[in-house]
Amino acid sequence: MKNKSQLSKTILLLLFVLPQFAAATVSKFVGEQTLNIYDYKRDRKLITEIWYPTNASKRSASHVDPAEEVFIREMKTIEGAPFSDVKKHPLILISHGTGGNRESLQWLAVALAQQNYIVAAADHFGSTLDNPDPEAVVKFWEQPLDITCVLTFLLDSSSFKNLIDTGKIGAAGFSIGGYTVLALAGAQISLKAIQQFVKTPEGQKEISISEMSGLSDMFFEKELVLSFQQAPDLMDSRIKAVMAFAPAVGQGFTSHDQFARIKIPVTIIGCASDSIAPVMYNAMHYLQLIQYCEYEEYKGEAGHYVFLPEATAFGKQMAAQFCVDAPSVNRHLIHQVTIARAVGFFNKNLQWNK
């Protein structure tokens, strides 16, 4: 009965927010491009996906066999389509979680592009499904620097700089990508706090993620400690608002002082049944320490991976951990609620009226 009650609440919330969201949708189709950005300072390749509003309506035939896809692909994008106009648009930068990739939050990116946003998401080298590297994952400063590099590239690019409103730039991230956008907002993580946490039973459980193994010992290696101490400042003042979905590595924060530099709006969305980044040590922990922060929590059985795309039948069979939700959870409905919240948050805080 509890599960049915939770589903009913979700449906009621959808009935309230979706009509407003649908009425505001302004672009039926979305253009998509893949950029090969290179950070020469760090010798790091950043394959980046860009979504944007377009008036084009003809899609090219897909060369991907749907039977081999783990996640359902968004069908409203048009590769290489022209921009719908030449006016300036707000920009949202997206950061994926460990073991994901630049398309992990495509469902959100496309919805934002339909609202006349430009959206950019990069593959974080070493943290993607097809290129896992534990050493890259524990270097927490790399993902924020990736986002900053992509932002600088877009603002300097002759193709995009005249289309981006530099006063309306936001960021959204999932899991470690949630930490990433908080770091961009000014959060300063503590390696000592992480080292202390991973020694605890709760810390060992959280750090033993299926996407990557052998992480806990790496936090104590001399080379990593030195690299951590030499890492540059990650705050990017060009970003004016951030959203974090099921943010991870909350164990790296123990003090309000670590968030004292955050002066921009922050929204965090957690899941009560998240066993990968439990809200007690992550989403709610961040909430307690950040002064400028709003918080939403999906109750019931919604877990960490509910923010990944909806899965195909093949995906549910081959990657059940990431693709199969509890019986009471409707991933599609949760995505729609999240989209509505994201659109409302960025519209308000980036002062975007289309």
Q: Which two tokens stand for residue 75?
A: 């069908």
DSSP 198-235: HTSHHHHHHH--TT--S-GGGGG-HHHHHHHHHPPP--
Give the model's pLDDT for residue 282.
95
pLDDT, tens digit (0-9, with 9 covering 90-100), for 55-98: 887 765 554 555 568 898 877 799 999 988 778 999 999 999 99
Give me the mean pLDDT over the 186-206 stretch.
Answer: 87
Lowest mean pLDDT among 196-200, 242-246, 333-337, 341-345: 196-200
Residue 228, pLDDT above cutoff 80: yes
Map residue 259 onto helix, strand or coil.
Answer: helix
* Residues whose CB falls within 8 Å of the CB of residue 167, separated by 6 or more in sequence, listed in order: 240
Q: Tokens 């999240």 — which residue?
A: 338
Per the document, the length of the chain is 354
Beta partners for residue 50, in sequence order:
33, 120
Side chain identity at residue 230, one-letter code: Q
In terms of pLDDT, which residue wins out, 220 or 89?
89
Which of 353, 339, 43, 352 lies closest to 172 in space, CA to CA? 339
d(CA 352, CA 215): 41
Percentage of residues in the chain having pLDDT higher than 90: 68
| pLDDT tens per residue, range 289-338 | 998 899 999 999 999 999 999 999 999 999 999 999 999 999 999 999 99
DSSP state of 70: S
Give me the pLDDT at residue 214, please. 63
CATH number of 2-57+71-347: 3.40.50.1820
**Global confidence as pTM:** 0.91
pLDDT at site 276: 92
Question: Domains of the chain: which residue ranges?
Answer: 2-57+71-347
pLDDT over threshold 50, residue 234: yes
- Closest by Cα among 217, 225, 234, 245 to 309: 245
Q: What is the dihedral of CA 181, 39, 50, 99, to 10 degrees?
A: -60
Give the residue with greater pLDDT, 253 vs 12: 253
CA distance 95 to 173: 4
Q: How many CB atoms neighbour CB 213 within 10 A?
A: 11
